[in-house]
Each structure stands twice: as structure tokens, then as C-alpha cells.
Amino acid sequence: MSSSQQPDAESTIARMRDVLKRQQAAFIAEGPPSVELRIARIDKVIALLQDNQQLLCEALASDFSWRSHDQSLMTDVLLPIAGLKYARKHLRQWMKPERRRAELGAGLLGAKAEIHYQPLGSIGVMTPWNFPVAIAFGPLAEAFAAGNRAMIVLSEFNPATAALLIELLAEKFADTEVAAFIGGAEVGAAFSSLPLDHIIFTGSPRVGRLVMRAAAENLTPLTLELGGKSPTIIARGADLDNAARRIWGGKGISSGQACIAPDYVLVHEDDRERLLVSMQAELPRMFPTIRNNPDYTAMATPGQYQRLQSYLGDAEALGVRCIEINPAGEDLSSVRKIAPTLLIDPPQDALVLQEEIFGPLLPICSYRSIDEAIAYINARPRPLALYYFGDDQAEARHVLAHTYSGGACINEVMQHIFQNSLPFGGCGNSGYGRYRGGDGFKAFSLQRSVFSPARFDVMAMLRPPYGKLFRRVMGLLLRA
């Protein structure tokens, strides 16, 4: 299927329903897959990514009008491959029954209390447009490790990438194992309403609420990764050049179109101007040019480009001091690229402080004390990530203890997503649930409590008719 030949929503919805019915039937008929089959499925996805990395990078670049091939290789090929390999390495251990303590002394007599992990069935994966490959195959690693089948919905804003992924998956798998679809709001709403066994959704809080409402009809459990405005705190005495270098390193990935990109910076008012100097010095070292620089990614869609331009227009209308960093002074008006821009102490009603930015704009906000910075963060919806720069370990611990976010980095940004042993997810307005690091295996499994009694019938003492022995045992248990 070419990107210009997308099926209509009605036929896509009909096919999704048919595929799910057949996946459910195959799941019941075939039973839980063996370790070997789970590994084989994971290996197929790894091979798909390794064998088609150039095609995937080209498709992503086409969808964005331009996206850095090297960054796509890192985020949409290497990252999911690393997660797949991690799941393959650990799945045997994850699958083992987990022993728990048998109560009432039964364990001493040979009773067993265990948690058995069983596959749920069909896992639904709803991907956004910003990292479509990584966010499709990231959860798939643990879905396959847990013994499930999967259905993936890809964004209509990635027509070339979606068409390629649908084709490649169809070559590797029967649709009763995994199937992918492309669609917009209508397809997404129908997908959310399917009686899937778990849905993982990545996107905005607004759409996340719609997914929750639709999934509630079937009581379908959810993992929601919803983004948010991820703050960066720069403490007094921090290495400002290092902070600027690492902030731009993260913000420069897909030109800030990442859910965990630094959204705004909090810096002490006495350090603000020196930080601005560092920010302006470090950016050109990474991006000496913008317009034709293959490392610099365009805005994904015309709508995203116009949204960011409206944020800039709003800031200018409010009299915000804006520093555009366009090292070569290029004219970008005819391309969907926006130069990195610092917005200094914008008012609270500025759009850049009200909405998740998802682009190369970066508000720089001053604070007078670390507790003021903490209060600022806590007065807003809980973010997906938080970053702290500084050498005071006690202060870093204080910040972590008194703020809430899905993940955090100390003296770095965004690198927690590259740690396969760490779970990933949000909290509050930025979502709930976790995957990666084995947490997805548990989320996509039925954690079944299983008790096996000892040969000696311990419970006989606790059955009627009640008498002195029962009361003596109860007395001992109540005092224990």
C-alpha cells in the first residue's frame, strides 16, 4: 500500500474488528506461546528494523518534509532494537512464577503462594506522529515477551512511514500475530472502543481522556503516556556551558518535537544573562546552519509549523524578549524549519507557558530561590520529565523529593528513555502506567495469584465447629 492509497476509515474500522476477532480466536486455540516462539517473534521485529533502517529513515524524512536521518537512526531504529533485545534477554526470567510468602505458617509446611504471569490476549498500541516507529515497536517488545498478539494504529500524519510499516509487518507476520493500521480521529476512536485486552496510548492529555472514555465501555485497562511541560531547573553554581550544551542536545532531537524535551528552563535571576550567553554560544556548535542542515529537523506538519508561529506571534504581542539563534542568518520563510528561539521571562498567560511547546522554542524563567522554583513546578500539572542541573547533591535530592514527574535526570536531559532497565511513563496529567524495564511485561500480563496448600490441612483448625482450639489459634494470630 502506497502512502497515497490509504484505505477509507470505514473499511479500516471493519478490518480492525475482523482482525481482533481472529486474533482472539487464535489466542484461545493456540494457547500461551512457548519461550521459543516469543523470542522468534521478537527476532523478526529486530530483523525488520535492521534490514530496513534506510527505508525507514527516508520515509520519516518524507513525512516531516525533512527529518535528520541520523537522529531517526538513533531514536526510531536503535532505541526500539535495544528495547527488543532487552526483552529477549530477560523474558525467561520474567516468565517464571514469582514466589510469595504463604501465611498462617502454611509455608513452613510446604504451601506455596505464587504469582503466575499469563498473556492477556491482544494489546492495542496507539502511536503519535513524532516517533512513530519507536513508539510502535517499544511496547511491542514487552507485548511479545508476555506472549500476546498486537494491533497497532499509526498516525495519518505519517503516511509514508505508516505505509512502509504496514507492508513490512505484513511480510513478517500473520495478522493474527500483529497487524498495523493507519487512520485519524475516527479510526482512533473506533480502535479505543474495541474489546482489546490492554491499550497503550501515546499522545495529548485531551485525546487521552477520549481514549479513556471509549475504553471504559469494555473496561479495557490502559497505559497512557501523555507528555506535558517538562521543566529544567538550573541551580546556583551549576556549569552553565554544560547545562546549555545538554539542553540543546535534547531540544535538538527532532527540533524539540519530543514528549520529554525540555519545555522551559528555570534559572536563578542572577545567572540568567550568563545562561543566555552560554545558550547562544553552544547552539551554533551543533547547528552552524539550519535551512539545508541535514541534522536539523523540520516541523512535522504545516499545522505544527503554524502553531509554533502563533506562539511566537503571541510572545511578541506581549512584549516578550525573544532571542532567535539563527547562526548563518538564513531565510527560513519557505521551509518548515523554525530557528531555536529563547523567550525570556514570558508572562504566565503567554501561550508558550500555557501549552506544551513541542518545538524549538524555549522559555527561560527566572527564580529567586530553589523553593520558589519547586513551587512553580508544583502549581502546574505534573510533567512527564524533570531535569536538574547542579552539583549540590542535597539540593538535587530535595528537588526530587518535593516534585513529581514521570521520570527525571540529574545533569542531563532525556537520557532516562535510553535506559532499558528503567520503566517509562507519566504521572497525573502526563499519564499513568509504565512500560520498559519489565514493567510492560507485567502490564501486558495477567498477574494471577495461585495458592497450593501443604499436605497437612492447616485450615482445618479454622473451620466450624469453632471451639477452644480455634480460639487459641485466633489468639495467637491476633497477638503475632
- Any idea which residues carry the catalytic annotation? 225, 259
Q: Which residues is 449 bridged to in the sheet? A: 115
What is the sign, positive or negative, of the torsion defined by CA atoms of 465, 468, 470, 475?
positive
**Continuous segment of H or E residues that includes residue 387:** strand 385-389
Residue found under cell 477509507? 8
Task: Tell me the β-bridge partners of 106.
Answer: none
- Judged by DSSP in three states, 50 sits in helix
Backbone angles phi, psi at 188, to 5 degrees: -60, -40
The SS3 call for residue 233 is: strand
Beta-strand ranges (E) seen in 338-384 are 341-344, 361-367
Nearest one of 191, 193, 194 to 152, comparing CA atoms? 191
Kindly report the CA angle at 134 between 130 and 135, in degrees rounded to 5? 70
| Nearest alpha-carbon partner for 213 in 191, 184, 192, 195 | 192
DSSP state of 405: -
Residues 6 or more apart in contact with residue 136 via CB below 8 angstroms:
80, 125, 127, 152, 154, 165, 180
CA–CA separation, 44 and 141 (whole Å): 11
Question: Which amino acid is located at 443 in the chain?
Answer: A
- Positive or negative: CA dihedral 62, 415, 198, 381: negative
Q: What does the alpha-carbon distance between residue 354 and residue 318 come to, in Å, rounded to a whole number? A: 14
Q: How many CB atoms lie within 10 A of CB 262?
A: 26
458, 413 contact by CB (below 8 A): no
384 and 373 in contact (C-beta within 8 Å)?
no
